[in-house]
Structure 1
Amino acid sequence: MKKIILSLVFAAAFTTLSAQTENEKTVANGEFNKWSIELAGGFNKPQRPMTSGFATSTPSPYVIDLGARYMFNNKFGLKADFGYNSFEGNDDSQSFDTKYYRADIQAVANLGRIMNFESWTNTLGLLGHAGFGLAQLEDQNSALKDRMGNFMAGVTGQIKLSDRVALTGDFTTILNAAQDAGFDGASTRASRGFTGILFNGTVGVTVYLGKNAQHADWVKIVDKDVLALTDRVSNIEDKMLDTDNDGVADYLDQEANTTSGALVNTKGMSVDTNNNDVPDDVENYIMKNYTSKTDKSPLLSNNELITALINGGYVATYFDFDSSTPTEVSNGGIDFILTYLRKNATASVDIIGNADELGKTAYNDKLSNERANNVKSILIEANINPSRLNVIAAGEDDSVNKDSELARNLVRKVTFEVK
């Protein structure tokens, strides 16, 4: 028996150390298993009544408990259990051999859930139990059969091994009422109160029954209406995201990749008053900084303005260090060129790859070529004829201070030139 208990203790310690961290599961009422079967074995110590000259070992083997438990929710339940104790004299005692049988109904409180164990562990649990029952003490060397009532209370520690099995350790105190004979069976006395005292310590397993994933011992229960409300709030929060930071929530935004800070309407679309496919804030900036102050004529025609933007390097896509894949935030440049080529079926473009000055020149020439070719491949996959796309590997761009990381970010790019 000692080897078995030591093995169980070792298994519990190993499981606790190796168990992976998992999120404690929240479920709605009724969506968890409620039944379990419990089996345990261990040691006992009868305190009184004992006849002078009679004693058991401390502790003495052995105890066997078998129970079935039903949880009304994740905090309270009932269980029926049956127990068997064996009492024998130790080396200094007169010989005796008695057996103790009991059957009890107990209330169960899941102290782990009541005290919110889930806030710091999803593996350890604690149950409290107390109830009444009937018991019988039998002397194996005589015809003695002493029937009595009992009250018992105890605590059960739990270690969750899986969703179906938990390891348990229990300590229980049993008070016997109307116990007429001593636990040794050698003497009798007329006593009607709770004079019998017996301690049990056991280690065992709990097996959870049911079709659901979790048992009431390990779940945090939330009302279905609360779960539904939580889902609705999460959906609203998702809808209120503003991915392109233009001030219009995604679920209303009809232009998902607007440049951050651009002027947009209530639908998240760039403001383009003259309908020339160039956002007003970009057009106003160019007119303010790149036209003659005395020239009152229109800046350019629609296509001329767009061509000037493209050939002036205002349309570009950028790359991370030593990468030939465009960054996600700069895909707008490729999308701009794609739109232009679709609207101008006879136009073609040079795709000009650039790299910063870090590294060997030959490697940077190769990297700039790969960047340009990757952009070309994206446009081809968008059904642009390859004959309209010309790759130019411009190699290193030495127009910025190579010792400045922020400046180097500006030259790791692909620009375009309309032909």
Structure 2
Amino acid sequence: MKKKLASLTLLVLSFFANAQNGTVPSTEPYNDKSAYDKWSVELNGGLNNPMRTMTPGYYTTGLNPFHADLGVRYMFSPKFGFKLDFGYDQFKDGGNSPEFDSKYLRTSLQGVINLGRALNFETWTNTFGLLLHGGFGAAQISSKDGLDGEDYLAHGILGLTGQIKLSNSVALTGDLTGIVNTLQDFNFDGMAKTRTATLDGVLLNASVGLTFYLGKNKVHADWVGEDDKYDSLEKRVALIESGALDSDKDGVADIYDLEPNSIAGVTVNTKGQSIDNNQNGVPDELESYLEKTYGQKSEGIATNTTVEQLINDGYVNVYFDFNSTKPTNASLSGIDFLVKYLKNNPNKTADVVGYADEIGSSSYNIELSRKRAEAVKQVAINAGIDASRLNVVANGEDTSVNKKSKEARQIVRRVSFKVK
């Protein structure tokens, strides 16, 4: 009998190892492993009832304490998984039965079907779930006062587990499980040998417990329904759509763009980076334009005076939408231009000058222009410029354009720079 148990245990462990290491094909449309947790630990306690294979004259109470089990479960998908669990049952005399005290230990490998997900419970509840589990394993019966030795046997197991979700980490469970044994020599009471053949003792377990979900994700596979799948798909589509945008209009989609705020009109490489062969911080095309426009050249590059004049004359700006303190994506290149200049000229400082259009009160627009300048300063600080090199100036309203023109007002909602 011990050889049979050893062979059966080896088979169980081998099957479990293959289930963990092998590739399991999935028909689930939602198979993003990073989207939900897969591991859980189950702890239960309750009652048992040995239905048959008791020695004549020996019996327990109708519902006999004590039962406990501990399981570790892994879900391959929201609908299917495996678990390995260990169970303990104690049988003691009840009523007018002669005294006896025996124990039943088992380990079982079980498949798990998430009926809650298969039946789309999420269409009416996000709190209740239902699991069907079943498999096979090995067990041992030992008796304190009865037959000498221990009985080793095999079993099949089938159960139903109700779930109440308490949080994203814990669920309350109630379980009803039936176990059918084979190769059983001892009765459950351990006082005599069984007389049945092939299928022997039948045991029922009723228990309540807790399931603890393991992992860093927000939700476990037990609670991932069709709505979650569609939400994830929508997020993926949104990511593709946003990644296909070209914020700086350089011909390279943002998802592939390593410099998504390159200066408008400047030639970039296939990765969206401005071409700067001499690594002086000024794109070659802009450098060539400066040389032609200002006619100042020193060792093949535009002089600092020329670049500084370009900044101070208002050619480098950062723009904002109406009543917004967040720079538009297209104008982030203005901050980038200033950052590169200050990094190449560590002795220079700059005023960050904020403006607003004429819509609204003057006091409000002064504060709005200050907030815009502060926002640009913070971006530059995050890009590596020391805060002490940047001075915020709130210039309030720019009245140089027709306030009735929407397009003209867009031009004056800006931050400009004065390099010193």
TM-score by length of 2: 0.49
If you compute each CA radius of gyration, which structure gives the higher value, 1 or 2? 1
TM-score using structure 1 length:
0.49
